[in-house]
Amino acid sequence: MKIRTLRLLAKEGTANVYKNKLMSFASLITIMTTLFVLGLVLLVIVNVISNLEAKKQDLQVKFYLRVDASRMEQEEVAMFIENGRASGVVSEYQYESREQAYENAKKDLKHESLMEGLTPDNFAEGYFVSLTDPNDSDQFIAKLKLLSGIDSQWITYPKDELDKITGVVRVFNYAAIFVLAVLMIISVLLISNTIRLTVFARRKEIEIMKYVGANDWFIRFPFIIEGMIIGLLGALLSHLLTSQTYGWIKDGLNNLFSSIKISDLQLIEFDQFAIRILVVYIIFGTTIGIIGSLMSVKKHLNV
Amino acid sequence: MIRFVDTTKVYSNGVVGIKNLTLRIEKGEFVFVIGASGSGKSTFLKLIMHEETPSEGEVYVNGYSVHNMPKSEVPYLRRSLGVVFQDFRLLPNKTAYDNVAFAMQIVEALPREIRRQVPLALGLVGLSKKARAYPEQMSGGEQQRIVLARALVNNPAVLIADEPTGNLDPKTSLEIMELLDEINQRGTTVIVATHEKSIVDAMKKRVITLDRGELVSDVQKGLYTDEN
């Protein structure tokens, strides 16, 4: 097909959006609401994942130096951790000196008698390290073991908990893909139903075009453009609706969480995901529009 | 030009449309196909334009083997035909001009070609003034003339008309027939299915009579009543 013809047909499709106002509106609402539902479901999943990821950050590698570690060895460990922070492997850490360890122990142990005869020198220096990427923990621990100042049996990391969280995050990731797929299918069915009505109303037109000798693409193309435009408009409107609704829900829930003291649960900002959601919406909206158009025109082309 | 060879069309519900029909229509002929309702007139035309395919036998149109034609070729067959229907079939949301231009856009004619040919076609059917009118703003006769202009604009080898005057008053009918005759004079083969006696008798052209799908008579310069 020539460019000239494509341009002509694109113009035709654009004009049809306006000429068939009612059907365009119905399709637009359908796309908008399905994308809206899709977006909210995705945002719930993203929130669950992001809160779980935040939980992962709370998991710390804890280790203690040998009580008899030399000054050189102490400095070597301090240097290693500082380097880790500089290179971004370590996100933050707390250092516990012998004195602090002694004080903490005194606080924890209610019976003074148990502390009798102990001085800070009997305690080891400790580090509590948060990793930027909890998945690096194995590697990080392996390196710690190479440092002679560290008592390798006192390196601990809640690996079980990490694995559990990682497992749950994976489940939610699959859930996201599943939800996307299901909603995609539902949307296509919904929209093709709406477009089918449009096409049914215009089947006579299609028939005439066929009798005059138009080939299938000549007939399909304007419908594709029409579906694309409606899909795009639906995506944009839905994005607006989603951002407003989400902002409202987020404020409400964050207030609720802080009022019932679960302040470590935090809903993410919409702005963080605004672009990604818009891209998903546009891809979905236009694809749904195009597939819907193709499906509903198909039946009437066999004249 | 058009050839039916022992063609039979039986519809899926068992109704016989055409039965063992063999005939030829040469280039430049003007042919009436007559018969009562259900005689097979419409089936005859539908077979020519590949709206239906024969159950048995062969159909050749403008060099195409219509009986075993791949689907992708159908548009090309139809572009070599001009088609006129009883119920006009104009695109409702296009003006008269755009309806005629549409037939040329399909064959991807050059815009300047379209700008030249469409007014000519509208002029030929005497409706240059109605170029900007929409179908619903025109009378039946006017609409049918626009359909004729659309059928002609690509200079088809064959013009097919299925009851073209069925929805028109006698005077307008005659005008349409005169137009068809004029088109025929320019070399286009014209095939008209009709059951209007007065028109057939007035025109004195070749008359093919069908009855229950079978060829009853085929006479040059015939009358509607020739079969008896």
Residues A149 and A169 occupy one common structural domain: no
Residues A133 and A275 occupy one common structural domain: no
* Last-in-domain residue among A157, A178, A196: A157
Amino acid of residue B147: V
Rounded to the nearest angstrom, the minimum Cα separation between B75 and chain A is: 4
Residue count of chain A, please give it.
303
Mean pLDDT of chain A, nearest integer: 85
Backbone angles phi, psi at B22, to 5 degrees: -130, 120
Of A19, A207, A212, the CB nearest to B102: A212
CA dihedral B110, B116, B121, B124 (to 10 degrees): -160
Helix (H) or strand (E) holding B121: helix B111-124
Residues A18 and A167 occupy one common structural domain: yes
User: CATH no. for residue A80?
Assistant: 3.30.70.3040
Q: In A, which residues are within 8 Å of B92 by CB distance?
A: 205
User: What confidence category does residue B228 fall into, taking pLDDT thresholds of 50, 70 and 90?
Assistant: very low
User: What confidence category does residue B145 fall into, taking pLDDT thresholds of 50, 70 and 90?
Assistant: very high
CA dihedral A213, A188, A191, B99 (to 10 degrees): -10
Residues A245 and A132 occupy one common structural domain: no
Residues A45-84 have pLDDT tens digits of 888 888 888 887 778 888 888 888 888 888 888 888 888 8
B93 with A19: Cβ contact below 8 A: yes
Residues B166-192 have pLDDT tens digits of 888 888 898 899 999 999 998 999 999
Residue A200, pLDDT above cutoff 80: no
| Range of the structural domain that residue A31 is part of | 3-55+163-301
Higher pLDDT, A112 or B35: B35
Residues A80 and A172 occupy one common structural domain: no
Residue B20, pLDDT above cutoff 60: yes
CA-based end-to-end distance of chain B: 29
* Last-in-domain residue among A157, A175, A199: A157
A210 with B78: Cβ contact below 8 A: yes
User: What confidence category does residue A272 fall into, taking pLDDT thresholds of 50, 70 and 90?
Assistant: confident
- Options 3.30.1540.20, 3.40.50.1820, 3.40.50.300, 3.30.365.10; CATH of B25-53+62-80+159-228: 3.40.50.300
User: What confidence category does residue B13 fall into, taking pLDDT thresholds of 50, 70 and 90?
Assistant: very high
Residues A207 and A295 occupy one common structural domain: yes
Can you read off the two tokens belonging to residue A129? 């390290």
SS3 (DSSP) at B11: coil
DSSP string, chain A: --HHHHHHHHHHHHHHHHHTHHHHHHHHHHHHHHHHHHHHHHHHHHHHHHHHHHHHHH-EEEEEB-TT--HHHHHHHHHHHHHHHHHTSEEEEEEE-HHHHHHHHHHH---GGGGTT--GGGSPPEEEEEESSGGGHHHHHHHHHH-TTB-GGG-B--HHHHHHHHHHHHHHHHHHHHHHHHHHHHHHHHHHHHHHHHHHHTHHHHHHHHHHT--HHHHHHHHHHHHHHHHHHHHHHHHHHHHHHHHHHHHHHHHHHHHTT-TT--PPPTHHHHHHHHHHHHHHHHHHHHHHHHHHHHGGG--
Residues A216 and A111 occupy one common structural domain: no
Q: Is B159 exposed, middle or buried (0-12, 13-18, 19+ CB in 10 A)?
A: buried
With a CB-CB cutoff of 8 Å, which residues 103-142 of chain B face chain A?
103, 105-108, 111
A213 with B91: Cβ contact below 8 A: no
Using the CB atoms, write b or e for A246-266: b if 16+ within 10 Å.
beebbeeeeeeeeeeeeeeeb
Residue B226, pLDDT above cutoff 70: no
With a CB-CB cutoff of 8 Å, which residues 190-209 of chain A face chain B?
204-205, 207-209
Q: Has the ipTM of the complex gone over 0.90?
A: no
* Last-in-domain residue among A128, A157, A186: A157
Residues A167 and A116 occupy one common structural domain: no
8 A C-beta contact, residue B84 and residue B179: no
A4 with B51: Cβ contact below 8 A: no
Q: In B, which residues are within 8 Å of A215 by CB distance?
A: 72, 75, 106
Q: In A, which residues are within 8 Å of B103 by CB distance?
A: 212-213
Helix (H) or strand (E) holding B41: helix B41-48
Instruction: Tell me how far apart the alpha carbons of residues A142 and A145 are, in angstroms, rounded to a whole number.
Output: 5
Residues A73 and A32 occupy one common structural domain: no
Give the residue-averaged pLDDT of B57-80: 92
User: What confidence category does residue B61 fall into, taking pLDDT thresholds of 50, 70 and 90?
Assistant: very high
Domain ranges for chain B, please list them.
Answer: 25-53+62-80+159-228, 87-155
Instruction: Tell me how far apart the alpha carbons of residues A287 and B49 are, in angstroms, rounded to a whole number.
Output: 36
Domain count of the fold of chain A? 2
User: What confidence category does residue B161 fall into, taking pLDDT thresholds of 50, 70 and 90?
Assistant: very high
User: What confidence category does residue A4 fall into, taking pLDDT thresholds of 50, 70 and 90?
Assistant: confident
Query: Would an 8 Å CB–CB cutoff place B36 in contact with chain A?
Result: no
Residues A90-113 have pLDDT tens digits of 888 888 888 888 888 878 777 777
